[in-house]
C-alpha cells in the first residue's frame, strides 16, 4: 500500500507551487492532476511517472468525483507514492476533504500538503488586498458549486449582503449577473466596487472592474472567460501594483525557449506572454539520420543551425544506443551562442562558430574552414535557409542535408489574444510564418503600434516578407540578447 499526498498546486503561476509540493512531484510514482493545476508543473515529475488527468471544467467534467476517488484508491494500491495535484489549496473548495475521507475509509496513508489559495493570491496579483484596516477587517470566501448552490432560491443572499468585509467568490463566473442582482435585492449598495479577475497570477491574467450594477456589462465588454475570481467590496477598487506599466511581450517559440525567454524578460522587468507555442514534428528523415549515425565515422563535421536540431540529434543517438565516444573524431559547427550552449549541455564545445550569427556569414566562413576531402552532416529544419547548401556546393564541399523536423504553431489559448501586447518576439522564421498563418486563420487584428523583435537574419527576413521590417534585431542571437535588445529599445524610446 502506497501513500497519497493531497497537494495544493497553487493558483496558476508555476512559481507559486510550494517547495514541498515540488519535491514530492520529483519523487512520486504517479501524479493525478486536475484542470486548475498548471500542466507546466508536470515537468517536475520524474521520467516514468504515470500522469493521470482528471480535470473538471465548467460544463465539461472529464471525470466525476466518484471516479476520481476510485482512481486514487487504485493508484495507492499500485504505487508507493501518489501525488494528487489540486488547484489552489486542497481543502479550499477542492473536494480535498471528500478525497481524504475516502482514503481514510480504505485505510490508505495520506498527507495534506497546503497550497496557495486563489481566494487570496488572485486578488493580490491584481493589486487587491482582501483585507484593509480602514475598509475591510474580514474576508469571506464563497463557492459557486456546492450542494446549497447560488442558484438555489433559498440561498441566503441577505446574510452575504449584510457582511461588512470583502466577498470572494470562486467558481461563480457563470453566475456573475445573478450574484450581483441578488446581492442588490438583498440590500447591498448597488455601487459597491467589484473586480473580476480571469486567469489570475498567470501571464494571461486580465481584470474587469465595475460596481454591482455594472460589472456584468464590463465583463462582457472585456471578453473575460473562466477560471475567474470575483471580488466584491471596497477593496475591489484598489489597485496596489508595483508593476503597473510593465511591458507585455507576446512570445512565439517552443516551450523550452518560452521558459528561457520568460526568465530573461522577467529579469528586465517585462512580462512574457506565450501567444503561439511551436511544437516540434519529426519528419521521415529522422530514420535517415539514424542510418547516418550508424556510420557516423564517415563524417568529419556535424553542423547545427538550431537548438532543436541539437536536441533531436542526441535524442536519436540515445534511442539507437549509439556510444557517444564514436563522436570522438567529429568536429561540430554551430550558428549562434544559443545553439552552442545547447551543444555544451551534451558535454561538447563547438569547434566552429561564425563571427556573425547570420546564415550567409556562416556559409562562407565555414566553407573556408572545411577541407575538400571532409564530409559534413547537417540535421536541420524543413524550412531552413537553402543558402548554406548553395555556398557549400559552390565550394565543392560534400555534405548530407537532412530535414529532420518541422515546427507547427499552437495558440497559447483556444483564441489567440493579443490584447495588451505591446511587443512580439520571434526566434525563428517558422515561428513568424506560423504566427501570421494563425492571425489570418482567426481573423485577428494586431494592436495598433505593436513593435516586433527578432533573433537572426532569416527570422527578420521572413517577418519583412509577411508583415514589415522588425523594429528590434538582437545583436546577440540568444534569448538574453533578445531581452537586452528589447529593453534597450524601450529605454531609448526608439
Catalytic residues: 34, 56, 171
Residue 59 CB burial class (10 angstroms; 0-12, 13-18, ≥19): exposed
Nearest by Cα to 292 from 401, 143, 196, 450? 401
Residue with cell string 460544463: 59
Other beta carbons within 10 angstroms of residue 2's beta carbon come to 17
Cis amide prior to 459 (ω within 30 degrees)? no
Measure the CA–CA gap between 374 and 364, rounded to whole angstroms: 16
What's the first-to-final CA gap in the chain, in angstroms? Answer: 64
Q: Alpha-carbon torsion 58, 63, 65, 71, what sign?
A: negative
Query: CB of 175 within 8 A of CB of 209?
Result: no
Amino acid at each position: 500500500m502506497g501513500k497519497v499526498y493531497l497537494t495544493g498546486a497553487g493558483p496558476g503561476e508555476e512559481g507559486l507551487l510550494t517547495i514541498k509540493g515540488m519535491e514530492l512531484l520529483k519523487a512520486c510514482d504517479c501524479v493525478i492532476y486536475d484542470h486548475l493545476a498548471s500542466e507546466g508543473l508536470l515537468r517536475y515529475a520524474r521520467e516514468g511517472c504515470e500522469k493521470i488527468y482528471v480535470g473538471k471544467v465548467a460544463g465539461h467534467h472529464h471525470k466525476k468525483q466518484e471516479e476520481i476517488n476510485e482512481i486514487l484508491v487504485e493508484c495507492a494500491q499500485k504505487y508507493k507514492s501518489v501525488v494528487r495535484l489540486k488547484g489552489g489549496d486542497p481543502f479550499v473548495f477542492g473536494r480535498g476533504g471528500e478525497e481524504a475521507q475516502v482514503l481514510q475509509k480504505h485505510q490508505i496513508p495520506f498527507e495534506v500538503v497546503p497550497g496557495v489559495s486563489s481566494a487570496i493570491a488572485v486578488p493580490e496579483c491584481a493589486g487587491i488586498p482582501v483585507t484593509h484596516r480602514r475598509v475591510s477587517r474580514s474576508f469571506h470566501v464563497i463557492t459557486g458549486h456546492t450542494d446549497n448552490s447560488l442558484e438555489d432560491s433559498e440561498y441566503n443572499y441577505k446574510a452575504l449582503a449584510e457582511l461588512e468585509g470583502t466577498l470572494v467568490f470562486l467558481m461563480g463566473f457563470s453566475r456573475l449577473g445573478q450574484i450581483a442582482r441578488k446581492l442588490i435585492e438583498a440590500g447591498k449598495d448597488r455601487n459597491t466596487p467589484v473586480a473580476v479577475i480571469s486567469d489570475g497570477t498567470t501571464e494571461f491574467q486580465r481584470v474587469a472592474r465595475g460596481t454591482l450594477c455594472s460589472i456584468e456589462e464590463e465583463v462582457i465588454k472585456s471578453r473575460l472567460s473562466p477560471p475567474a475570481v470575483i471580488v466584491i467590496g471596497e477593496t475591489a477598487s484598489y489597485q496596489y501594483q508595483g508593476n503597473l506599466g510593465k511591458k507585455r511581450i507576446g512570445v512565439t517559440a517552443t516551450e523550452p525557449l518560452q521558459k528561457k525567454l520568460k526568465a530573461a524578460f522577467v529579469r528586465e522587468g517585462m512580462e512574457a506572454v506565450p501567444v503561439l507555442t511551436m511544437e516540434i514534428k519529426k519528419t521521415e528523415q529522422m530514420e535517415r539520420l539514424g542510418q547516418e549515425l550508424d556510420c557516423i565515422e564517415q563524417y568529419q563535421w556535424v553542423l547545427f543551425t538550431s537548438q532543436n536540431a541539437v536536441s533531436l540529434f542526441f535524442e536519436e543517438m540515445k534511442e539507437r544506443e549509439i556510444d557517444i565516444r564514436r563522436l570522438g573524431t567529429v568536429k561540430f559547427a554551430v550558428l549562434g551562442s544559443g545553439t552552442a550552449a545547447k551543444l555544451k549541455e551534451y558535454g561538447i564545445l563547438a569547434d566552429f562558430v561564425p563571427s556573425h550569427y547570420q546564415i550567409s556569414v556562416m556559409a562562407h566562413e565555414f566553407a573556408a574552414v572545411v577541407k575538400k576531402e571532409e564530409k559534413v552532416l547537417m540535421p536541420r529544419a524543413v524550412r531552413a535557409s537553402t543558402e548554406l547548401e548553395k555556398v557549400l556546393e559552390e565550394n565543392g564541399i560534400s555534405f548530407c542535408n537532412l530535414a529532420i523536423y518541422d515546427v507547427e504553431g499552437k495558440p497559447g489559448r483556444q483564441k489567440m489574444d493579443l490584447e495588451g501586447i505591446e511587443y512580439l518576439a520571434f526566434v525563428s522564421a517558422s515561428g513568424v510564418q506560423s504566427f501570421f498563418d494563425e492571425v489570418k486563420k482567426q481573423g485577428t487584428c494586431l494592436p495598433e503600434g505593436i513593435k516586433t523583435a527578432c533573433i537572426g537574419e532569416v527570422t527578420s527576413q521572413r517577418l519583412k516578407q509577411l508583415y514589415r521590417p522588425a523594429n528590434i534585431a538582437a545583436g546577440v542571437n540568444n534569448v538574453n540578447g533578445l531581452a537586452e535588445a528589447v529593453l534597450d529599445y524601450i529605454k531609448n524610446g526608439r
